[in-house]
Amino acid sequence: MMSDELTFEDALKRLEQVVDDLERGEPELSSALKKYELGVSLLAQCQTVLEQAERSVALLTGVDASGNPISAPFDPATPPEPEPTPKVAKAPRKRTSTPSAGSDDSFIPF
């Protein structure tokens, strides 16, 4: 099977094996060079697949009135906008009654 026919996962596994083999050292220079060339080819294939996946990803930006998702193309160079903070209705404050004119003067309403 040639590297062009490998899935991303298989190409990545083979690339990891090539790197491991090269890090351990090859007995012959020619064998090491062939593995290095294979590694470069596998790396290019993996990068191409990742770039294609990146271009096909869409960001969910909301939902329309009918409940259908609204999306925008993903751009890794543009940071995502922060999600809006949901507004929470404040509960009405209870009013305390003020003391009548003839009541205890030590009562201070807050």
Whether pLDDT at 108 is above 80: no
What is the average pLDDT score of the chain? 78
Does position 25 have pLDDT exceeding 90, yes or no? no
Which of 37-41, 72-76, 97-101 tops mean pLDDT? 37-41
Confidence of residue 56 (pLDDT cuts 50, 70, 90): confident
d(CA 32, CA 59) in angstroms, rounded, equals 43
Shortest CA distance to 45 belongs to which of 95, 96, 2, 85? 2
Enter the tokens of residue 12: 């990545």
Environment class of 90 (CB within 10 Å of its CB; exposed 0-12, middle 13-18, buried 19+): exposed
